[in-house]
Amino acid sequence: MTNNLPDPAPVGRLIEAFRWSKTMFTTASLGLYDLLPATAGSLARTLGLNPDALERLLDGNVGLQLLEKRGEAYYNQPVADTYLRKDSPHSLIGYILYSDRALYPMWGHLEDAVREGTNRWRQTFGTPGPIFDQFFSTEENMRTFIMGMHGFGVLSSPAVVRAFDLSRFHRLVDLGGATGHLATAACEAYPGLQGVVLDLERVIPVAREMVAQSSAKDRITCVAGDFFHGDLPEGDLYALGRILHDWDEAGIELLLRRICAALPKGGALLIAERLLNEDKSGPLNSLMQSLGMLICTEGKERTLEEYRTLLLNAGFSQVEGKRTGRAVDAILCDKL
């Protein structure tokens, strides 16, 4: 009788999935990946943790293939050394901590978000107001969020700037550029390109710190500003990396029209966003990210055609999109 039943494994994996995430989140929050190799006993004494409970947490990481155990000592697997240590140049720890402290509790209210169609900041944390006021509520929260975006940007921006031939451009202005990972990748890929990173004044010290590590640092300037207000820095190529998905159509239209007006003829806009399939059947990470935007912003993920409509309405033309195989895809559109 049961031989005709479908395999329950997909459901079983989803039942377990939040436990896997929280195991990694907790280990990262405790800073354990930065303290290995060590034994559970020595870590428990150092951090004031329950030895038995800590051993279970570390063993869980072994099961998740993030750690390995040799004798009594625990060691990071290469994937943990690369992405889960704070001192790694490819660290994703910022986004992991942000996921643990902000996204994880907000996702607990997904049902209410679906009922009401609005984000869950007030319900979760009791704080109203603009979304980015929450991200930047303290210097620690701001840096955690910015460095979380940096980790993903370092992995995806090189593919974004090579998705199209950008060699005809002279000056790229990365709007809301955070740590400058996209401008840095572009200037490293195109020796004739100058770069400008525009972001809020509080972000600029972090941007300068990250840009200073690039071989193209002498061609990149970091400027404080708000892309919704005031004049935009001059450039023939503007970039928006993971910006448009934060906003509703009215906010996007306002921003795109400002950019189009600032561009010279022959200039262009480079956009880095996750693209949904035209029938919205996938990719899975984009679908999940779109739910995430419901939880914490006014925006959502979109198809290339949806972006094309917004861009053409704002005055752009020749909209082309490409999949990068990375966390974000690339769109390039011209101003004729």
Residues sharing a CB contact under 8 Å with residue 167, sequence separation 6 or more, in sequence order: 190, 192
Catalytic residues: 245
Tokens 């769109």 label which residue? 331
User: What are 70's two structure tokens?
Assistant: 């040799």
Q: CA 76, 80, 82: angle at the middle one, nearest 5?
A: 120
Q: Residue 188 in contact with residue 166, Cβ under 8 Å?
A: no
Unique residue bearing structure tokens 């979304």: 131
Burial (0-12, 13-18, 19+ Cβ within 10 Å), 129: exposed
- DSSP per position, 241-253: ES-GGGS-HHHHH
Distance between CA atoms of residues 264 and 257, nearest Å: 13
Give the C-alpha distances (Å, rounded to integers) separating 187 from 58, 75, 151, 207, 217.
41, 37, 18, 15, 9
How far the first Cα of the chain sits from its last, in Å, is: 66
